[in-house]
Amino acid sequence: MSLEYKIVNVVATCDLGVRINLANYARTNVASVQYNPDVFRAAITRLKDPSSTILVFHTGRLVITGAKTCDTARSQADRMKRLLKIRKAPMSFKVQNIVTTASCHKSINLVALYAQIVTHAQDKIKSVTYEVEIFSGLQIKLNQGCIIVFSSGKIIVTGFTSRSLINECYDEISSFLTQYGSSFIRASSIGI
């Protein structure tokens, strides 16, 4: 069972290296920039095509969110550099988090899945939580990232910083599903 995943969100930080006057910046770009210093000490820039949201701090650091790929995030950082009229190249760019979703297209019995994980996968994971009253998904915390499984079969993998780690994670999930899946995968497909 191969799991195809889709990257839904990439969060990255960048340092442009120069101080920025946020008030001026906000004044010149009224349309797409929000700056309320008493609410939050950063200018919130919303770009379109590709769309993303960028927080600009007066130290010159940026937080880029909403990008759909890592390259988009990088290009948005360059775009901001031009928008802010900065000639220095961005100093550091680091992807902080990649959020991905996937589906195994079968409905899952989370109680049984929990039991299987507790017995078979304790060495690879940091912790597993399934509390129905608190959250309807089963949450697996790994050393670096986190996996959330819903009973519809949808899976969210988040917290990783590179594609290779994500691929590894999904491979692990696939192998676990094929190995132990019979005990927690429901024969009927989702129609709930």
Partner 1 sequence: MSSLQCPIHPDANLIEDHRAGDIICPECGLVVGDRLVDVGTEWRSFSNEKSGTDPSRVGAPENPVMGASDLSTSIMVGFGASDSSQGLANAQRKNMNNSDRQMNQAIGIIREMSERIHLARPIQDSAAKVFKQILDSKALRGRSNEAQAAACLYFACRKEGVPRTFKEICAVSRVSKKDIGKCFKLILRTLETSIEQITSADFMSRFCGNLDLPIAVQTAATRIAKKAVELDLVAARSPISIAAAAIYMASQASKDKRTAKEIGEVAGAAEQTIKQTYKFLLPRARELFPPEFKFVTPVEQLPAS
8 A C-beta contact, residue 64 and residue 13: yes
What is the spatial distance between Cα 137 and Cα 151, in angstroms, rounded to a whole number?
7
Closer residue to partner 1 (CB): 4 or 131: 131
Name the residue nearer to partner 1 (CB basis): 93 or 130.
130
Min dist. Cβ of residue 101 to partner 1 (A): 17
Strand order, beta sheet including 61-67: 33-34, 43-47, 52-56, 61-67, 5-15, 92-103, 154-160, 146-149, 138-141, 127-129
Q: Which residues bind partner 1 (CB under 8 A)?
A: 107, 109, 111, 114, 118, 127, 129-134, 136, 150-152, 186, 188, 192
For residues 53 and 103, which CB has a smaller minimum distance to partner 1 in the complex? 103
Minimum distance from residue 4 beta carbon to partner 1 (Å): 23
Provide the minimum distance between the beta carbon of 132 and partner 1 in the complex, in angstroms, as a whole number.
4
- Identify which of residues 2 and 188 has a Cβ nearer to partner 1 in the complex: 188
